[in-house]
Amino acid sequence: MPSSIGLRFYEVTVIRRADSAAVRLNDPQLVKQVPAFIADFVSHNASVTLRHEIERSWYLEEREAENTGISRGIVHYGTYGFESNFVDSRTKQTNYRRQIHDVEEIPLFYEFWCPPESDFGLLAFQSFQIRSCVTVVTQALRDHFQLSNPAYYLRVRKLMPADVKGSAYYRSPVKRIRLIKRRAPKDVTDRYFTRQGDGGADFEIAIAARRNGTLGPLAAVGDKIKPQAGGVLRYDGIEFDEALAEVMIGGRRRRVGVFGLSADTGVIDVSDAVEKGPDGHPVFSSMKTEVRELMDDFHKVLSR
């Protein structure tokens, strides 16, 4: 989903190293319990961290905090390490020559939901186009927790459709399924046309419901689209490595990655569901509403 505003959700649990048992977020044996740790982590990362080995920068700007362990705000995520021209798309004139040490920063919504007396917490991270801060922030989260609680570790697990199939979101009707084969081999594409050049091609099949029909709820469709050995799906003799579903929620279509080898799997596309500001980025209050709706839904399912 390259030109989209996406949401990734993660489940957080605390594991005791001695016996690999999960403990509550406020287990009295923890040196620093998770709710207090979250507040400390947000405060500790309010200034810029530079990751020179991957040429990335990031810091947290907390906008709201509800009780201990609940924080939402913005991850200011930056890239640097190369020069480029900033060109006006209308006039084609170069406005600025970006230097190698200039950081291009974008705002990405985050929410940490780790209240006391809970068995698990939830995290939400926004992505913008193909950029996501998840890897750098979750790695820092795990590392920081280990420093505070060396006898435990924080397990951060991405939520996939199968994990929350009982939620309202995954009971939503599917209107279209897209099966995608990246860098399709020549024998596949040559069935339909003669490929020119050697740039390669992606191959895609779409299965759509009729105007007033659906392909069934997302959970049921997801059960039918299961990868075989090697993480691929075979359909009509062709192996596909990604599947995206378009679902109807509140009269709007949203996309979600059903399976695949890419980071898009499990990502919920909210591009058409959130309000955007004049800068092209989603409005904070709109993102908060969307995340709260989905997170409450997922929490109910995971708590059963």
Using one digit for the tens of pLDDT, what is the confidence trace for 144-193? 999 999 999 999 999 877 677 777 777 888 888 888 877 666 665 566 66
Look at residues 159, 179, 200 and tell me which one is the last residue of a structural domain.
159
Q: What is the DSSP track for 158-188?
A: E--GGGGTTSTGGGSBEEEEEEEETT--HHH
Share of the chain above pLDDT 90, in %: 43
Alpha-carbon gap, residue 221 to 259, rounded angstroms: 12
Strand ranges (E), the chain: 5-16, 21-23, 49-51, 56-65, 70-79, 84-87, 94-98, 104-113, 121-128, 131-132, 152-158, 174-181, 203-208, 233-235, 238-240, 242-249, 252-260, 268-269
Alpha-carbon gap, residue 216 to 256, rounded angstroms: 15
Look at residues 159, 187, 204 and tell me which one is the last residue of a structural domain.
159
Same domain, 87 and 219: no
Using one digit for the tens of pLDDT, what is the confidence trace for 259-282? 654 556 678 888 878 899 999 899
Same domain, 184 and 154: no
Question: What range defines the domain where residue 245 resides?
Answer: 164-265
